[in-house]
Structure 1
Amino acid sequence: MEQLINGGSAPVVAGAGASAAAPVAAGAGAGARNGAVRVMRWTNTTSGFMLRRMAALVSDGSRPDKVFKDKDVNFVAKALKLFCGEVVSPTQVYNHLRKWRQKWARVSKLKDLSGAVWDDQAHAIMLEQEHYLGHCKDHPKDAEFLNYPIRFYTEMEAIFANAMATGKFALGSGEALGQNQADSVGAKADAASPKRKKGNFSEEEMLMLTNLLDAMNNVANALMETRPAHVDANLYLAVMEMSGFSEEALIVASTFLLDNKAQGRGFVNMSDAHRALWLRTFLTKNYYV
């Protein structure tokens, strides 16, 4: 199987036989032995590793049309296993990459938002404070993409940018970015219902479905965040006026402290020396120093 990640209006499929079935068989065997299919818990570290490997396959010039083969996805899955020690299937890599394509679609639309300014150095979509607060109140899911550096922007741009720039997608907006190899298990069942047509979802609907799944997976956290958010008026200046750090690094730290209210209040009450120590420790852990 070959699957267009970007740059075309339809997937290119070839040889979707034994090679596509092999990962499924292996996964089924593992599931039988362990009693259940292991769920991959993606973190920023593992997501970044996957995206960098996929971006490298595009940037090295060997795939000018951004066509990925089964062997490419298998290679990334195996490399990820060596990196994090967890068994990762090609299907999981495909599905997670699809989620990042949805993020890129949202970023692309927000860059065209009225009043938005794109900071090319920080890779951030900047809004005036009043506009930012109003937009996030109406669209809370967009908060992660506004007024601070977008995580893994460079990698997403390398993988998805050309398709977004021309308004084209590798697949129909309702289709998976890569063929979910687990679907081959139910191929016969689908063949038994020839009149059933595959849903053709719009990109907005796909984004809504993705957000719904994310909300279901994080329902416990949502229930905990029932109190109105309180932002210390002095937090922004307390962070951004610290000397010896880049503006990008300070924005990252400021965003973290806004999301973690207790640490934000603690930071405001620190002495300058302790603030500098906290920033060096935090930014080192997050690879900004």
Structure 2
Amino acid sequence: MGKGKEKNVASKQFRWSKPMHTLLLEILADEAAKGNKPSNTFKPASFALVAKSISEKFGVECVPDHVNNHLQTIKSMWNIIGTLRKKCGFGWDENLRMITCDKKVYDEEVVANPKHEQYLNKKIEMYDEMAIVVGKDMATGSFAKSFTDVVQHDNILDSDLDLDFDDVSSKGKYVASSDSGSTKRSHRKRSRDDSEDGYNLISEKLGEVALALQALNKGVDADHLYQEVMKVEGYDEFMLATAFDHLNGDEKLARGFLVKNAKLRKFWLDNFFKNHGN
């Protein structure tokens, strides 16, 4: 067997535990925040970092190929989540990060796709990190939306307002109605209230864009950054002050730190103190 085939077999045989899966997502989410994910692909150094961290923490031999292989699995999981969220009969709880459905829909889906059970009516662990690592859009909640995401959302809303009735009905948004004759109306007039609601929603989103631009122009607030760094538990005041000085001198790093949740902030600080000998 050639070296290439041996390498592929080894990649498939590596067993990923839940803690390993969690650590991979935490590290890659942090790498993305640092700008090490140009386009939709991580830099090789990011895969190497994950492999090294998993090898050291769990006492296994993990290589970058193992990381890349598992990343494909995570992409498949993300695609399933996205598909389920769009299906008729399923809802989405933003706070719990959970796909919701009633018992009938649940039973029908599980019978048709048994592996989908793990995504239904239960919190999707590491959802925000998955959104950053393999999703096309930034997650909401503990992670801020990017300016591009907001603009794209606005474009979708704007185009929806001018859809043909046939287009809309084909997507299940409306039920077609017919006249007494055989000719169907191809367009449906929206009521004045519907139009106003649509335009009000667009105005609200444009307001979010304006706020995002203002935040970019203002830069990072040093006082806010200091408060956020100093409230992380588990480190003494001098260590956190050192981390603050480092972040305050690099606006890109500071922004990345501020969008992280508490767990990712602590992970970043652990790496920082390790690399800087504290």
Q: Same fold (TM over 0.5)?
A: no
Higher RCO (C-alpha 8 Å, min separation 6): 1
Select the structure of larger CA radius of gyration.
Answer: 2
- With the shorter chain as reference, the TM-score category is 0.3 to 0.5
Q: Give the alignment's TM-score, normalised by structure 2.
A: 0.44
